[in-house]
Amino acid sequence: MIIAFDTSTAYAGVALFREDGLLAECNWRAHRDQTTQLLPMTKKLLESQNLKPDTITGVAVALGPGSFNGLRVGVSTAKGMALALGLPLYGVSSLDMLAYQHSYLNGNLCTIIEAGRGRLGIGFYKVKNGKWNRQGDYENVTASELATKISVPTFIAGELTVAQLQELESLTGKNVQILPAAASLRRAGYLAEMSWLRLKQGDMGDDIADLQPIYLHQPVKQ
């Protein structure tokens, strides 16, 4: 059984996944309280399924980009559990998580995560027939900068404020289709499923010592 942690931003998530599918999942707005909320929520999730920690066979964690402090909570918790229980650890980009959960689409996709101070972490993907492929590197941009990068019809999924939504819609015209807020919420269940597939394929996980969060720093002004 995989346990998955996502504390990339103010939204947090925990999920349990095994061969017969998703067992339990909780995604909630933790604000800046991931440190005090993550482990109690994990305990509740295990108890809801009458499970104990010794039933876990792998640990997954969202690597960001996102909040510096939030990412540290998730990654340190996942590393601690993997070390204590002797389990493989799987790190997954938070933007790739969003792309994976929208692999039913066909076309261009941009996934977005809050990067702080009005900026966005973004990734562009091509999605077709249930498969997604990232195009280029992750970037740290403003909503107006993102709008200049979209020249073809593109689905958008992720965290956007009302003001950012309005700006994107006004600047990009008919080139964007912004997915509903509920569909754009990162779900820890998908993180767990992605990691479960790696485990089933014989992937022994990432190096616990070397695994680090993905930080996208703001461009330096010359």
Read off φ and ψ for residue 216, nearest 5 degrees.
-110, 105
| pLDDT at residue number 198 | 96
| pLDDT at residue number 168 | 87
* 89-92 and 154-158 beta bridge pairing: unpaired
| pLDDT at residue number 15 | 98
For residue 219, the tally of other CB atoms under 10 A from its CB is: 11
SS (H, E, C) 54-73: HHCCEEEEECCCCCHHHHHH
| pLDDT at residue number 219 | 53
| Domains of the chain listed by start with CATH number | 2-93+186-200 (3.30.420.40), 95-184 (3.30.420.40)
For residue 142, the tally of other CB atoms under 10 A from its CB is: 16
pLDDT in 10s for each residue of the chain, 222 residues: 999 999 999 999 999 999 999 999 999 999 989 999 999 999 999 999 999 999 999 999 999 999 999 999 999 999 999 999 999 999 999 999 999 999 999 999 999 999 888 899 999 999 998 999 999 999 999 999 999 999 999 999 998 988 998 888 888 877 899 999 999 999 999 999 999 999 999 999 999 999 999 999 765 454
CA distance 174 to 7: 33
Q: What is the pTM of this model?
A: 0.94
Please answer whether residues 62 and 92 qualify as being in contact, where contact means their C-beta atoms are separated by less than 8 angstroms: yes
